[in-house]
Amino acid sequence: MLFVAVLCSYRATGGGWGLFLLLFLWPDLAILGYLMNVRFGAGLYNLFHLAAAPVLLGVVSVAIHQRSVLSFALIWFAHINWDRAFGYGLKYPTFFKDTHLQRVSPAAAYESAKAVA
């Protein structure tokens, strides 16, 4: 439900859906941190997937009247909520699929998606 609320908020900012689709997966670029090692990769991934970061950016963007920054923050926040809805949580520094929500497997992601629907 939070994902839908974020989409509605994004639409209210006047942001284009092409931009939304283009930037929706940008936080997942943090996966490249795993090329260095698992601990660094998990830390970078978690930094990009903390909900506090886009929320803070959104608050600042409203304070300084920057609609484009607010749109970016909402896209980022939508991505995080999408991940959580499908069972992808913050990573433990043990293995990519070890998260604070569960050990991610295709079946677990499917069950999480079913529970949300």
Q: How many separate domains does the chain show? A: 1
Which pTM does this prediction carry? Answer: 0.80
Residue 82 CA: distances (Å) to CA of 37, 79, 87, 109: 26, 5, 9, 11
For the cut 80, the answer to whether the pLDDT of residue 96 exceeds it is no
Render pLDDT for 7-65 as a digit per residue (tens, 0 to 9).
Answer: 999 999 999 999 999 999 999 999 999 999 999 999 999 999 999 999 999 999 999 99
Each residue of 78-92: pLDDT tens digit?
999 999 888 887 887
52: number of Cβ within 10 Å: 8
The boundaries of the domain holding residue 93 are: 2-116
